[in-house]
Structure 1
Amino acid sequence: MENIKDIEQRILEEVSKASDLKALDEIRVSAMGKKGQITEMMKTLGQMSADERVETAKKLNVLKAAVEEALSKRKDILESEALNAKLASEKIDVTLPCRPETQGRIHPVSKIYEEVVAIFGELGFEVAEGPSIEDQFHNFNALNMPLNHPARQMQDTFYIAHDKDAPFNMDDAYVVRTHTSGMQIRTMENKKPPIRIIAPGRTYRSDFDATHTPMFHQVEGLVIDKTTTLAHLKGCLYDFVKAFFELEDIPVRYRPSYFPFTEPSAEMDIGCLKTKTELKIGAGNDWLEILGCGMVHPNVLKAGGIDPDEYQGFAFGVGLDRLAMLKYGIPDLRTFFESDVRWMKNYGFAPLDFSSLTGGLSNNGGQLR
């Protein structure tokens, strides 16, 4: 049998020469595995005399301890070398710029909302907000729209029953507001003249095509004072369209129209150039309807608790979604609400973009793509 001292020297030499963890584990198995050399030597102790067994067992335990210590130290060295090699091969050049983080975009309607509020805010208007679910008095009756008015028909308005278990009665049902004009009445009920407010918000009508959706955004304006005239209305709206479309001089005209809550009523058009491929605001001999307006009807003033013999005012209403379509060249209103991130990347705005009366916010300088 090979001398224990020689076995120890040979195994320790093999351990020191192991080039990787796999080779080291093979040495461990050959020496101390179930059929390893040291294990087999331990099995022969039972065949020895008592004195010889004690002496040999001591030597084998010393051998085993020496081999285990050598294996542990060599394993630490090899693991450290492997880690260093991996770090060297996977080195990161921290001097390179990092990849840009994906940044969210602000929806065009949100930006139009901010811009319109900013412009009218600098003109002295306050923002008034109200409920989306209205009673028929504020949504229709007080705005000079009696029970037989066409706008109150089922095909135009979403009605909500008072009680889901009771028979539906359209005459006393709630409505999901069809316009923000109801804020005219709520403001007059809670505030004495002079009044100068805009009421932006969501509105709802039963309509769906390329230029209409069941939910859309509108801003209503109201000014009431003792000396308010149609000239004030024209001047206010002219300042607004100039700031909004970022044009120093923009042709405008007012066409007679009909709205139940204003008298006289008009629609405001702006000059434009229409071709097959583009619509350019502020140039050419064509006209584009932009909003509705007029002097507040005396019946509306009475419904709001204001004496029409002492006060008069003007009102206007414009669709925020339509303004966004015109300014940013968006052809289909339905795409506003489809949550397409590719669409948002094209039409959305950076978070730090801002708007004001003296400088609006545009992607294309008033020219539709």
Structure 2
Amino acid sequence: MTSKQTELEKLAQIQSVALDALSGVVDLDALEAWRVTHLGRSSAVMAVFSSMGSIDKELRPLMGKAANEVRQALEAALEEKRQTLEAVALKQSLEVEKLDITLPGRPVTRGRLHPLTQVLRQITQIFGDMGFQVYPSPEVETDDFNFTYLNMPPYHPARDMWDTFYTTKDGVLLRTHTSPGQIRVMRARAPEPIRVILPGATMRYEQLSARSEIEFVQVEVLVVGKQVSFAEMKGTLDDFARRLFGEDARTRLRPSHFPFTEPSAELDVGCFVCNGEGCPVCKETGWLEILGCGMVHPLVLEYGGYDPTIYSGFAAGMGVDRSTLMRYRIDDIRHFRNNDVRFLKQF
């Protein structure tokens, strides 16, 4: 018997043994074990490929072709067996689970805008109708823009009003309010009149509660020009509140203090969650503060490039999360970021 016949018979024997073993495979786990044994790196057919260097040069093409044919035959038998076993397994699972495959498929759930996005768009539309432009500003800010240029130098105690997230880079932080955008838009447009809103996310390290979150969305309002008055600010914000919450919305303006405005105030809206009777959202007062406001401080105008003896302005900062609580009478601000589809799909 020649060497050629011996090697070919060896390959035929490998194929025969593997196919005989395959006929006894009854489940997918056993099939995987068969694949490792007969087609894995340590299998007999793969050993033939590894030993090609020791075979006579004249026989190598023939042996290579024959070994490939055996491997392909085993792979084809493996795939055929796999399909057969998967069909059997599917049939068995259907019998056990009592699944009616003739039922129609479940409808695909359609995505929708988040309630905060919806209210933010409403606020943007309201101010757009009132002649305001949208001006974007960065969420990662410098200490100067977030505090110093807003009349809060490094030693100022008012900095403690904001629980700030600082980064590892000196002087860089996550903005605690949208007010830094005031300086950026003033420096970009001075000495022209300004009538803009600056929406965006802000971050503070605060205790989570029904009315407070670590991350929330704000909208900054800024008007700068000649002879801009406190009365104009009050009229603008009252008009905004009634457009957003309805003509029957109750508002009140209370004195307050912010380093970057003088005089300063806060605008409250009657709590729609409890109709003024008192609840956790309004801290039992019947009122919910939706924004802080005031006339732009002269030093802030100077930092922005405006002469405070000629120009004046007003600014306001409102929380979109809190406005959304009022708009839809929601009792807990944490619902917005819990990603509970049962809650979100209501909007």
Is TM-score (shorter-chain normalized) higher than 0.5? Answer: yes
Q: Which TM-score bucket, shorter chain as reference?
A: 0.5 to 0.7
Residue 188 of structure 1 and its aligned partner are, at CA, apart by 0.7
Partner amino acid, structure 2, of 1:117? T
**Following the alignment from structure 2 to structure 1, what is the Cα–Cα distance between the partners of residues 278 and 188?**
49
Which AA in structure 1 matches 2:185? T
| Residue 102 (structure 1) aligns with | 109
Higher relative CO (Cα under 8 Å, sequence separation at least 6) belongs to 1
Distance 2:241 2:343 in 1: 26
Match of 2:197 in 1: 198
Contact 2:251 2:270 in 1 (8 A): yes
Using the TM superposition, give the Cα deviation of residue 327 of structure 1 relative to its aligned residue in structure 2, in angstroms. 1.3
- Could you tell me which amino acid in structure 1 is paired with residue 328 of structure 2? Y
In structure 2, the partner of 1:149 is: 156
C-alpha distance in 2 between matches for 1:243 and 1:128: 21
- Aligned partner of residue 184 in structure 1, secondary structure: helix
Partner in structure 2 of residue 53 of structure 1: none
Distance 2:279 2:178 in 1: 34
For the structure 1 residues 332 and 150, does the alpha-carbon distance in structure 2 shift closer, same or farther, using more than 3 Å as the test? farther
Shift of 1:264: 0.3
Shift of 1:286: 4.7
Q: 1:183 aligns with which of 181, 184, 192?
A: 181
Say yes or no: does 1:300 pair with 2:300.
Answer: yes
- In structure 2, relative to structure 1, the CA distance for the partners of 1:194 and 1:216 (3 Å cut) is same
Write the mapping of 1:319-330 to structure 2, written as runs, cut at 5 A. 319-330=319-330
Letter in 2 for 1:257: S
Q: Decide which moves more: 114-123 or 286-295.
A: 286-295
Larger C-alpha radius of gyration, 1 or 2?
1
Q: Where does 1:256-275 land on structure 2 (aligned, <5 Å)? A: 256-272=255-271, 273-275=275-277
Letter paired with 1:293: C
Inter-partner Cα distance in structure 2 for 1:277 and 1:213: 18
Instruction: Map 1:165-184 onto structure 2 (within 5 A).
Output: 172-184=170-182
| Residue 78 of structure 1: aligned partner | none
Please give the alpha-carbon distance, in whole angstroms, between the structure 1 residues aligned to 2:127 and 2:249: 18
2:134 to 94, 106, 127: 127
Rounded to whole Å, the distance in 2 between the matches of 1:268 and 1:154 is: 18
Q: Which runs of 4+ in 1 moved over 4 A?
A: 97-101, 276-280
Partner Cα distance (1:116, 1:155) in 2? 25
Query: CA contact under 8 A between 1:151 and 1:157: conserved in structure 2?
Result: no
Matched to 2:159, the amino acid is R
* Residue number in structure 2 paired with 1:9: none
Are residues 244 and 181 of structure 1, via their aligned partners in 2, closer, same or farther at CA, if it must alter by over 3 Å? same
Taking only aligned residues, the RMSD between alpha carbons, in angstroms, comes to 2.7
The equivalent of 1:334 in structure 2 is 334
Q: How far did 1:98 drift?
A: 9.2
What residue in structure 2 maps to residue 216 of structure 1?
A: 216
Describe the shift of the 1:153–1:161 C-alpha distance in structure 2 as closer, same or farther (beyond 3 A).
farther
- Rounded to whole Å, the distance in 2 between the matches of 1:311 and 1:326 is 35
Q: CA deviation at 1:287?
A: 3.7
For the residue of structure 1 that corresponds to 2:243, the secondary structure is: helix
CA displacement at 1:149 relative to structure 2: 2.7
State the Cα distance separating 1:251 from its structure 2 match: 3.2
Q: Look up the SS of the partner of 2:254 in the other structure.
A: strand
User: Please, what TM-score do these two structures have when normalized by structure 1?
Assistant: 0.60
For residues 48-59 of structure 1, the aligned pairs below 5 Å read: none
Give the AA of the match of 1:139: N
Amino acid at match of 2:335: T
Gaps of 5+ in 2: 1-99
Deviation at 1:277? 7.4
Checking the alignment, whether the CA contact within 8 Å between 1:178 and 1:205 is kept in structure 2 is yes
Distance 1:255 1:155, change over 3 A: closer
Q: Is the 2:279–2:286 contact (alpha carbons within 8 Å) kept by the matching residues of 1? A: no
Alpha-carbon distance in structure 1 between the residues aligned to 2:162 and 2:307: 35
- Structure 1 segments unaligned to the other structure (5+ residues): 1-89, 163-171, 349-369
Q: Secondary structure at the match of 1:290?
A: strand
Q: Is the 8 A contact 1:198 1:222 kept in 2?
A: yes
- Tell me how far apart the structure 1 counterparts of residues 324 and 200 of structure 2 sit (CA, whole Å): 15
Q: 1:316 to 1:276 in 2, by over 3 A?
A: closer
Q: What's the offset of the Cα at 1:279?
A: 9.0
3-state DSSP of counterpart to 1:294: strand
SS at match of 2:113: coil
Q: Tell me by how many angstroms 1:288 deviates.
A: 3.2
Alpha-carbon distance, 1:227 to partner: 1.5
Q: How does 1:1-369 map to 2 (within 5 A)?
A: 101-153=108-160, 156-162=163-169, 172-192=170-190, 193-210=192-209, 211-247=211-247, 249-272=248-271, 273-275=275-277, 286-346=286-346, 348=347
Deviation (angstroms), 1:157: 0.5
Aligned residues: 241
Amino acid at match of 2:186: M
SS of alignment partner, residue 228 of structure 1: coil
1:205-259 residue CA offsets vs partner (Å, 9 max, x unmatched):
1113122222111001000010210111011111101110122x43322111100
Provide the rounded CA distance (Å) in 1 between the counterparts of 2:173 and 2:281: 37
